[in-house]
A = this chain, B = another copy of it.
Amino acid sequence: MSLLVVGSVAFDSVKTPFGEAADVLGGSATYFSTSASYFTDVNLVAVVGEDFPQAHIDFLKSREINLDGLQKVSGRTFRWKGEYGYQLNEAKTLETHLNVFQSFKPVIPDSYKSSKFVFLANIDPELQLDVLKQVKGPEIVGCDTMNFWISGKKDALLKTLKEVDILIINDGEARELAGDVNLLKAARCILSYGPKILIIKRGEYGSLLFNGANIFAAPAYPLETVFDPTGAGDTFAGGFMGYLSNTGNLSEPAIRQAIIFGSVMASYNVEAFSLERLKKLDYKEIEERYRAFKKLTHFEDL
């Protein structure tokens, strides 16, 4: 089945304790679709400016990502500049230039409209809702958001969440969205807003799945060198949604496997700046690390 993603394509300038990179390829839709492309057909909707180089287009095409929905408009591409300290948990944003992203209105091409899986990356919840009006009854809608929308556009976000099947956010966002520091209580509250499935990302500590009454805890893969955490969350979501879209199986075991695939993709992504590691990845490596996750977490029954 095919997977539609709506989000950002950007240039990132990133400084970490291990080096820096200027004006490299980034953006939620970029990370998501590249990651998902290892599992399924991806339809991308985003906007770039006139300064967006053909080489990046060529790369996305080489991953067989459908770019019919990538608008190229006059102006400059979205730019973000951030820095990470040694803990690598949270970026300090130094500069944000929305540029052409400021007036982004997602237009879903006809060829995308029957996508069975849809992922609304972190954009204005009003735009997320507008996307859902344009598509024809997708089977599964996944969604991301951030503190900026939780505090600034809560009503619109709650409207969007009513239409969403799977919400994927980080622990701080979950606590803020629910107004509860306890993650279990926060999860129960968020599930009452609409989503049937909630995935809470906890960075280096992995993720928690809440699927009805079931809870699944997945660790992050322990790495010696986390070179650049930028895009890890979107890469996770891409692997997760990509695997689900590939199998079309939405059973609890399949969802758990999808979370491990998402974790695998994120663990590779942070090993290099931008999408450098994802660019070189092959499917054998993905399976290899899936098995490493199994070895990392397995213990005997009683």
Contact = CB atoms under 8 A, between A and B. Distances in A.
A215 B182 contact: no
A259 B218 CA distance: 16
Interface string A29-41: 0000000000000
A241 B181 CA distance: 32
A231 B301 CA distance: 27
Interface stretch (A95-103, A125-133, A222-230): A222-230
Interface string A249-277: 00001001101100000000000000000
B296 A224 contact: no
A111 interface: no
A221 to B, nearest CB: 9
Given A290-B302, A302-B291, A222 B253 contact: no
Interface string A284-302: 0001001100101111111
Contact of A202 (B205, B290, B301): B205
Contact of A184 (B185, B216, B222): B222
Work out how many copies of this chain go into the complex: 2
Most chain B CB atoms below 10 A, which of A87, A217, A218, A294: A217
B297 A216 contact: yes
Contact of A257 (B223, B291, B299): B299
Give the contact-size bracket for chain A. Answer: 35 or more
B183 A222 contact: yes
Nearest to A300: B253
A300 B208 contact: no
Nearest to A226: B182
A219 interface: yes
Interface string A84-109: 00110000000000000000000000
Contact of A301 (B205, B216, B218, B294): B294
Given A184-B223, A216-B297, 15 more contacts: A87-B181, A183-B222, A184-B222, A185-B224, A205-B205, A215-B296, A216-B296, A217-B296, A218-B299, A253-B300, A256-B298, A260-B299, A287-B302, A294-B302, A297-B297
Interface of A: 86-87, 181-185, 202, 205-206, 208, 215-219, 222-226, 253, 256-257, 259-260, 287, 290-291, 294, 296-302
Complex A-B, nearest 6 residue pairs according to Cβ-Cβ distance, in ascending order: A217-B219, A256-B299, A205-B205, A86-B181, A184-B224, A217-B296
